[in-house]
Amino acid sequence: MSNNRILFCGALLIAFAISCSKNPFTGKSTLALVPNSEILPSAFAQYNTFLKENKVVTGTSDATKVTNIGTKIKNAAEKWLTANGYKDYLKDYQWEYKLVESKEVNAWCMPGGKIVVYSGILPITKDDAGLATVMGHEVSHALANHGQQRMSAGMLQQLGAVGVAAATGSKSQETQQIAMTAYGATTEIGGMLPFSRSHETEADKIGLTLMAIAGYNPEQAVTFWSRMAAASGGNKPAEFMSTHPSDETRINNLRKLIPEAKAEAAKFGVMFK
């Protein structure tokens, strides 16, 4: 075995050995090659830059709604964490909720609790429960440290590419190119895309619980995602080629998770018919 391949294998083993941390929301040990002490300051700076470069909506009923619902979702997360023995989990988060004028049908939450809702999604959210579905889902990405995991997975993917290059270094240029192309396609379709879809499913589950604890009927999540599916007109890639589950898969999963979300909410005195 060449020195390069030895170094690669050693680095890969070390990365796996030191990079796992358990997340309270998922109960899973997850990749954490980049610490939040580095990720959060960078995320906050990027968020502030984004706000300066885009039109933030203030002083309207919609802007107030975004802030109020975001606060309720945040409070629900704090209640759940405190009840489950993780009171200080959010100590480094700096929550902020902004409505931004844009035709884009989207919303996102950066690591550390920095949330943006685009005005273009409001006609589809329609009501408070719809918006709570969106914000609960996006907040859950941050709570589950999905950004950190994606960065870590990307680093491992790059590290693997170094290994492929080292293993084929003595081969012809054509062989090296074929190997790298095959590695890229295999890790993307067989690794990175399923990884991303699993994050979406986790965020759906956590978000459903948080919206329920916050007092929003989780059954309305199915109603919202049905509207989203109708709005897309079915113009989406096949699930195995996508970063997101298909609309059908997502809605079916949510239906199965509703009883669990209601049961969690009941622990906090929130009941639904």
* Active centre residues (catalytic): 138
For residue 152, the tally of other CB atoms under 10 A from its CB is 19
User: CA–CA separation, 166 vs 161, rounded Å?
Assistant: 9
Reduced to 3 states (helix: H, G, I; strand: E, B; else coil), residue 22 is strand
- Helix ranges (H only) for 19-106 are 36-53, 61-83
Query: Position of tokens 């059954």?
Result: 219
For residues 239 and 190, the answer to whether their CB atoms sit within 8 Å is no
Query: Position of tokens 């994050």?
Result: 199
Reduced to 3 states (helix: H, G, I; strand: E, B; else coil), residue 159 is helix
Q: Distances in Å between the alpha carbon of 112 and those of 27, 87, 90, 150?
A: 19, 16, 8, 15
For the record, the structure tokens of 201 come out as: 């499913």
